[in-house]
Structure 1
Amino acid sequence: MTAYEKPALAIAEIEEVLRAQMGAGVREITPMSGGNLSSVFSFVHEGKGYVIKFSDMAGAYETDRYISNLLTSQGIPFPRFLGQGKVGHLGYVIIEQIDGGNLADCSTEQQILQLPELIRILTRLNHVELGATIGYGWIKPTGDGTYNTWKDYLVDVFTEDQTGNFWENWYDLFQTTCLEKEVFDECYSRLMTYSVYNEPHRHFIHGDVHQWNILSDGKRITGIIDGNCAYGDFLVDLAILDRHMAGLEVVEAYQAYQEQAGILIPDFNERLLGAYYFKGMDGLRFYAKMGWNDAYQSTRDFLLNLSK
């Protein structure tokens, strides 16, 4: 199985899409870095900055309108939705551009200084009002979750039989990449043990909250973008952030803020372990598929050394 390659587009193709959506006057179409699964471009229209993203994934951007409206209506610094459509086999979405660069481009010292604000924003995001929606896991365009329970979601995420999505035939990775079946099975067993602690909790999860999806002007957090959004235990987001900002004492800073804000988190350690295994296992197969062997090895070692 070869590493995934995101779609390639000529600027002329993008201009045609934007002319149909926005009318005349689109300028400065520029490729953007980031986006492992999407091809991303910024552009200017009537003096304002926007972003267009293209994907060949089935169902790409179906929930973007709902999620953008949910978060922006409750004061979360998340891009506003402008439009979406299809061009050939590609889906696309147009959103506003939030000022700032990737937090990843900030120095370690700058990241440490902005960590308290980032934790405050993440806490607000994880506690947005979900209204009358039901269900866990992936968020559907209606706003409901796809699964009846958190366990149903976990089981389906890692089932062998995936069709029509990024993980179709993913068991082939055990034969064709560095992905190790015995390691994966061991982590899955531990995931099922700890997931019972995550099971009762239903909140909004960003699902991909790391320095490349966090925007900053160098002094303050200006926005959070993208996401593999779902309903479930918000400690999933903490696990992701901690793994991507290793060494910055993210968990300690998070707990200190929750205590200060009067937010009680029962079974914290067990839930965080469940979150580490869930996102870590997803990382293992993703890194294997992308050919990122160093990231695979460090995640593998981290997971196997948990719970000791």
Structure 2
Amino acid sequence: MTATTTSAGSGLSEVARSEATLRTFLHGLPGVDQIGAEQRAAMLGTRSIKTSAKAWAIDLAIRMVDLTTLEGADTPGKVRALCAKARRPDPADPGCPTVAAVCVYPSMVPTAAAALAGSGIHLASVATAFPSGQAPLEVKLADTAAAVAAGADEIDMVINRGMFLAGRYSEVYDEIVAVKQACGNAHLKVILETGELVTYDNVRRASWLAMIAGADFIKTSTGKVPIAATLPVTLIMLEAVRDFRAATGRQIGVKPAGGIRNTKDAIKFLVTVNETAGEDWLHPDWFRFGASTLLNDLLMQRTKLTTGVYSGPDYFTVD
């Protein structure tokens, strides 16, 4: 195992010194009450939002979007169009906020970097053999370094779930530490692929493992498996970042991704953020939505609130 190079902060500096200490810590975390977590998430999802608060929430959600295209058929033209939409989500309304970031494959980073130049919008790239995470470490590090060199200032890495589920926590930890180092000044989002982790207890363990290893964000999903971001899973991850900050003083972001397609659902997530982690996380620096179709629904609802006219889905570009 790598010597302790974690940036987790005080109180956890010795956790990763060996496989035994790491396993003891992760399996010593409080177990998740599955029924309790699901009931609380369901209750938070029923909160009503008044019109003025809804307008604020929609603008905040737009600012939190990582506008994403991760398809084998991606082309430079498609990426440039996505970047144009990121810069000006609603061409008819210059007051509409921009999104937080554009997320693309490493091969598309140079195109996106040129298209986003001077905008202040972050450029994220999936790396480390996305979406499987099944590649030698040297390949993952080369993938990361190439994306950063081309202009990415955020890297979304995916953990090797097979390694994690086999209980090889030290190896997962070492990979995250190595990728974090390869990121240089770029922020690292660690994708847990929670739909493949089987249990909520594993989601909690993987969240803490990623944070101890130096993640700047923890992210639910790749969007490439049937079960992606859910409210209960996001609640558990928000509890983890809240408790991690209490233990270390270091704040970590959370990014649900996959399956969040409409304004109603996005607002449910924002309520969950506020009620679980607190207002400090209600900012694009600390909470993101990995999405593509979500943005259009947010724009349609925003237009309805500001003009009283509901625009159809064909009013905005389809990503």
TM-score by length of 1: 0.27
Structure with higher RCO (Cα < 8 A, 6+ apart): 2
